[in-house]
């Protein structure tokens, strides 16, 4: 049985720093879920935040244990909406998966979005078999399927949009 | 009966220039369809294109008559997809609406996307009554409703996603 990560060991951080770029890349690569292009996008979001600050629209939440980032989320308000937010990324370093860290990050993200007067959180993923754990995770977190766009990513690979009203 | 704009009078242009910023703002404001925030976004897209060039991911198509822009479209490949494109904006100066210029722009955009090996074009709009002409226009152009996200823009204001396979 896996040893649960105790709350006492966990440190939360919101402000990104330069060293996060490399660690974010390591974490998203380690998950094995994302294509090379997608991993690049994950890094670009933190780069844009570092360059433009909060006006980038990208909010981060990092979870660290023993001064090393173990997981993170990136989210932000959807431009042109009143109270709708996108959860762009949520990822946990592969060797730390299975300890419930993803659920803790999600809970914290939802609390932050509620503080920002968010009403809805959207998250997107692929219909492919390899993303079954991702879809199960969102469903476990209370997200409902709102739409499925056929062949969106590539022929046979649909985009599924989940939403949670908060 | 409105006088149709003859093809002979029309000039197409793809490369944006500095003066397009103001004219784009005038056109989107003139339509009366868009909020102040949305009009700002329209201008930001051309600014980003002017700064970053084609790597911005924003492609433009301008239609001019007597050296003045009468309408335009902004579109681009959706990152992380193979062959899916977003049509971000399509707008015609208000006094020029009703001449079929929108249909001509749409046809040209679809041809350009086909040249880029695009398979699908996505376009989004609001469920509100005031956007009925917009929805009718997309339907006339062969776009099918793929999804409707409740309360996306604000409570009671849904996002409708249309798609056309090309």
For A18, the domain range is: 7-119
CA nearest neighbour of A160 among A91, A33, A136: A136
- pTM of the prediction? 0.90
Q: Say what the pLDDT of residue B8 is.
A: 61
Q: Which of A43, A149, A160 to mutate to test the interface with B (most CBs of B within 10 A)?
A: A149
Q: Residue A7 — very low, low, confident or very high, per pLDDT cuts 50/70/90? A: low
C-alpha radius of gyration, chain A, whole number: 15
Compare B119 and A39 and report the one with higher pLDDT.
B119
Q: Give me the residue from A37, A80, A150 closest to B41, CB to CB.
A: A80
* C-beta atoms of A154 and B120 within 8 A: no
Let me know if residue B21 belongs to a domain. yes
pLDDT exceeds cutoff 80 at A92: yes
- B contacts of A162 (beta carbons < 8 Å): none
**Spatial distance between the Cα atoms of B146 and B3, rounded to a whole number of angstroms:** 35
Cα of A7 to nearest chain B Cα, Å: 35
Cα angle A82-A85-A89, degrees, rounded to a multiple of 5:
165
CA nearest neighbour of B70 among B4, B24, B134: B24
Mean pLDDT of B2-21: 79
Let me know if residue A110 belongs to a domain. yes
ipTM above 0.85, yes or no: yes
* C-beta atoms of A37 and B79 within 8 A: yes
* C-beta atoms of A84 and B152 within 8 A: yes
- Please give the structure tokens belonging to residue B165: 């396979």
CA nearest neighbour of B13 among B51, B46, B43, B42: B46
Q: Is A146 exposed, middle or buried (0-12, 13-18, 19+ CB in 10 A)?
A: buried
pLDDT digits (tens, 9 = 90+) for B73-130: 999 999 889 999 999 999 999 998 888 999 999 999 999 999 999 999 999 999 999 9
CATH of the domain at B34: 3.40.630.30
Let me know if residue A2 belongs to a domain. no
Let me know if residue B2 belongs to a domain. no
Let me know if residue A34 belongs to a domain. yes
pLDDT digits (tens, 9 = 90+) for B54-75: 999 999 999 999 989 999 999 9
Let me know if residue B97 belongs to a domain. yes
Q: How many domains, chain A?
A: 1
Mean pLDDT of A97-105: 92
Cα of B100 to nearest chain A Cα, Å: 28
Q: Residue B7 — very low, low, confident or very high, per pLDDT cuts 50/70/90? A: low
A residues 44..103 contacting B (CB < 8 A): 78-84
Let me know if residue A131 belongs to a domain. no
Q: Which of A151, A155, A161, A164 to mutate to test the interface with B (most CBs of B within 10 A)?
A: A151
Mean pLDDT of A6-31: 89
Please tell me the least confidently modeled range out of A63-72, B27-36, B37-46, B53-62.
B27-36
* C-beta atoms of B119 and A155 within 8 A: yes
pLDDT exceeds cutoff 60 at A6: no
pLDDT exceeds cutoff 50 at A1: no
Could you tell me if A140 and A106 are in contact, meaning their C-beta atoms sit under 8 angstroms apart?
A: no
Least CA distance to A158: which residue of chain B?
B81
Cα angle A115-A119-A120, degrees, rounded to a multiple of 5:
115
Q: Say what the pLDDT of residue B6 is.
A: 52
Across the beta sheet with A10-13, the strand order is A10-13, A59-65, A68-77, A84-92, A120-126, A157-165, A144-154
* C-beta atoms of A147 and B152 within 8 A: no
Q: Give me the residue from B41, B149, B161 closest to A79, CB to CB.
A: B41
Percentage of the residues of chain B whose pLDDT score is greater than 70: 95
Q: Say what the pLDDT of residue A159 is.
A: 98
Q: Give me the residue from A81, A147, A153 closest to B153, CB to CB.
A: A81
Q: What is the mean pLDDT of chain A?
A: 92
Could you tell me if A162 and A143 are in contact, meaning their C-beta atoms sit under 8 angstroms apart?
A: yes
What are the respective helix, strand and coil percentages of chain A, to the nearest 5? Answer: 40, 35, 25
Percentage of the residues of chain A whose pLDDT score is greater than 90: 81
User: Please, which contacts does B134-138 make with residues 24 or more away whose CB atoms are closer than 8 Å?
Assistant: B134/B33, B135/B160, B135/B162, B137/B102, B138/B162
pLDDT exceeds cutoff 50 at A94: yes
C-alpha radius of gyration, chain B, whole number: 15
Q: Say what the pLDDT of residue B2 is.
A: 47
**Spatial distance between the Cα atoms of A78 and B127, rounded to a whole number of angstroms:** 17
* C-beta atoms of A82 and B153 within 8 A: yes
pLDDT digits (tens, 9 = 90+) for A111-155: 999 999 999 999 999 999 999 999 999 999 999 999 999 999 999
Could you tell me if A80 and B149 are in contact, meaning their C-beta atoms sit under 8 angstroms apart?
A: no
Let me know if residue A146 belongs to a domain. no
* C-beta atoms of A148 and B150 within 8 A: no
Least CA distance to A82: which residue of chain B?
B154
Cα angle A107-A110-A112, degrees, rounded to a multiple of 5:
110
Measure CA A133 to chain center. 14
CA nearest neighbour of A33 among A75, A90, A86: A90
Cα of B163 to nearest chain A Cα, Å: 9
* C-beta atoms of A120 and B151 within 8 A: yes
Place of tokens 């979001």: A45
């Amino acid at each position: 049985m896996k040893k649960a990560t105790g709350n006492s060991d966990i440190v939360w951080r919101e402000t990104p720093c330069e060293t996060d770029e490399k660690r974010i890349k390591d974490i998203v690569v380690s998950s094995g879920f994302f294509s090379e292009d997608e991993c690049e996008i994950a890094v670009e979001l933190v780069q844009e935040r570092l360059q433009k600050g909060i006006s980038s629209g990208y909010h981060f939440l990092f979870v660290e244990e023993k001064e090393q980032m173990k997981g993170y989320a990136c989210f932000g308000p959807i431009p042109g909406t009143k109270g709708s937010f996108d959860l762009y990324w949520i990822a946990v370093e592969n060797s730390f998966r299975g300890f419930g860290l993803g659920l803790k990050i999600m809970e914290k993200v939802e609390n932050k979005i509620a503080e920002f007067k968010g009403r809805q959180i959207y998250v997107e993923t692929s219909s492919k078999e390899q993303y079954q754990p991702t879809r199960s995770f969102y469903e476990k977190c209370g997200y409902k399927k709102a739409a499925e766009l056929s062949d969106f990513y590539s022929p046979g690979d649909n985009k599924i949009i989940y939403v949670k009203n908060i």
